[in-house]
Amino acid sequence: MVEFKGTKSSWGIIAKLFHWSLALLLFWQVATGISLHNMEFSPIKMGFIITHKFFGTLVFSLVVLRLIWKYIFNTHPKYENIPLFHKLVSNLVHFILYGLVILIPIQGTLMTWLEGGDVYLLGLIKIPPLIEENFILYPDALTIHYYSALILTAIFSLHIVAALYHRFMIKDKYGVWKRMAFSRTKV
C-alpha cells in the first residue's frame, strides 16, 4: 500500500517525491551555475541564464511546499537506536541544506534585480523588483551567489556520503536509507 504520510519507518511518498525531485533539480542547478561561471558572454549563455532562473524559482517553490508538508501535514519517522551524535549531525546538515536552498534562490533574485533584470516565478508571474538596479554591487552579489553554491555543493556531498555510508558500509542498520528510498527491497 502507498503511504502518503510518514510512518514509523518511512518519510512517506510525498516527502520522498519532494526529496528526490529536489535532489535532481539541485544537481542541474549547480551544474548549470558552475558552467555559467566559466562561460563568456554569448547568446548560449543568455539561454542558460533563462533556464537557470526558471529552475531556481522552481527549487524555491518546491522547498517552500516541502517545508509546509513536512512541518504542517506530515508525520515523521522516528530515529530508533541511532547514536545521538549521528542524530545531531544529520539534523544540523538537514537544517543547513534547507537554509541554503531557501537563501540561494532569494539571493539570486536580488542579484538579478541589481543587474536590472526581471524575475518570473516559474517563468509565469513577474515578481515586482524590491530593490533598485546597482551595477556597483552586482559583482559582489555574483561572487556571493557563486560561493554559496559551492558551499551547498560541499554540504550536499557530505549528506550523500553519509547516506551511502548508511546504505553500503553499515548495511542500513538504523533504517535511515530505507525510510527515504522508493524501493522496499532489503538492503
156 near ligand HEM, rule: CB under 6 A = yes
Which DSSP state fits 166?
A: I
26 near ligand HEM, rule: CB under 6 A = yes
Minimal distance, residue 1 CB to ligand HEM, in Å: 21
User: What is the distance between the alpha carbons of residues 172 and 166, in angstroms, rounded to a whole number?
Assistant: 5
What are the helix (H) ranges across 69-137? Answer: 84-114
163 near ligand HEM, rule: CB under 6 A = yes
Backbone angles phi, psi at 57, to 5 degrees: -75, -30
User: What is the distance between the alpha carbons of residues 51 and 42, in angstroms, rounded to a whole number?
Assistant: 15
Q: Considering only CA atoms, which of 149, 143, 79, 81 is closest in space to residue 111?
A: 143
Q: Considering only CA atoms, which of 19, 142, 138 is closest in space to residue 70?
A: 19
> Going residue by residue from 32 to 71, which x/- string records binding to ligand HEM, judged by CB under 6 A?
-xx-xx-----------x--xx--xx-x----------x-
Among 14, 114, 119, 141, binds ligand HEM (CB under 6 A): 119
113 near ligand HEM, rule: CB under 6 A = no
Which DSSP state fits 120?
A: E
User: What is the distance between the alpha carbons of residues 144 and 32, in angstroms, rounded to a whole number?
Assistant: 16
Among 14, 114, 141, 149, binds ligand HEM (CB under 6 A): 149
Among 6, 12, 108, 113, binds ligand HEM (CB under 6 A): 108
**Which residues bind to ligand HEM, rule: CB under 6 A?**
11, 15, 19, 22-23, 26, 29-30, 33-34, 36-37, 49, 52-53, 56-57, 59, 70, 90, 94, 97-98, 101, 104-105, 108-109, 112, 119, 142, 145-146, 149, 152, 156, 159-160, 163, 176-177, 179-180
